[in-house]
Amino acid sequence: MITATQGVQVTSACGVCGGVLVRDLGRFIDRGLLRWGAEGRCRGCSDAWCETGTGPAPWEIRQALLAEHGAVRLRAVAGDAGLVPVLRALRETYHLSPAEARLRAAELSGAGLVGTSVEMAYLAEGLRRRSVATTLVPVPA
Ligand SMILES: [Zn+2]
């Protein structure tokens, strides 16, 4: 079940025939996993492929999504629960070391973490499961 999705279509020259290559790049949450996908097809020849994966998206996909849709900023609202649930959610979501999780947690409760809307929605969901309230706002371009 896909619960959040964001996509962008980009065109470039086909490496096979020089025609117009159309690529659909996207980020989505499927059955609780953060995934990315890329699907390409050429309008001039039969060149076509499809790739997908979990975890961090390839740089190019991330940049294309940020350019098309902008970034969002996620902040954790410090509650009575304190830092521990934030650290647990970060470690579960990103498989971070304790030291890395502490750095991210400090950012999250300070200036906030910035990313694509699906990435930040995924982290917000992990925090919500740990009863940590969050705010999500668009980053002005
Ligand atoms: Zn082609």
Residue with token string 């996909």? 61
Ligand 1 centroid to residue 101 C-alpha, Å:
45
Ligand 1 centroid to residue 48 C-alpha, Å:
9
Confidence at residue 78, expressed as pLDDT on a 0 to 100 scale: 67
Handedness of CA 27, 29, 33, 38 (dihedral sign): negative
Q: Ion ligand 1 — residues with CB under 5 Å?
A: 14, 16-17, 19, 42, 44-45, 47
What residues have CB less than 8 Å from 86, skipping those under 6 apart?
76, 105, 108, 109, 127, 130, 132
**Domain spans in the chain, listed from the N-terminal domain onward:** 2-69, 72-138
CB environment 33-58: b (16+ within 10 A), e (fewer): ebbbbbbbbbeeeeeeeeeeeeeebe
pLDDT above 80 (res 76):
yes
26: exposed, middle or buried (C-beta count within 10 Å: 0-12, 13-18, 19+)?
Answer: buried
Using one digit for the tens of pLDDT, what is the confidence trace for 8-62? 999 999 999 999 999 999 999 998 899 999 999 999 999 999 999 998 899 999 9
Distance between alpha carbon 69 and the CA centroid of its chain, in Å? Answer: 12
Residue 82 banded pLDDT, cuts 50, 70, 90? confident
Structure tokens at 140: 């002005």
Cα separation, 85 vs 100, whole angstroms? 15
Ligand 1 centroid to residue 110 C-alpha, Å:
48
Q: What CATH topology corresponds to 72-138?
A: Ribosomal Protein L30; Chain: A, (3.30.1390)
Cα separation, 122 vs 56, whole angstroms? 12
Cα separation, 141 vs 136, whole angstroms? 15
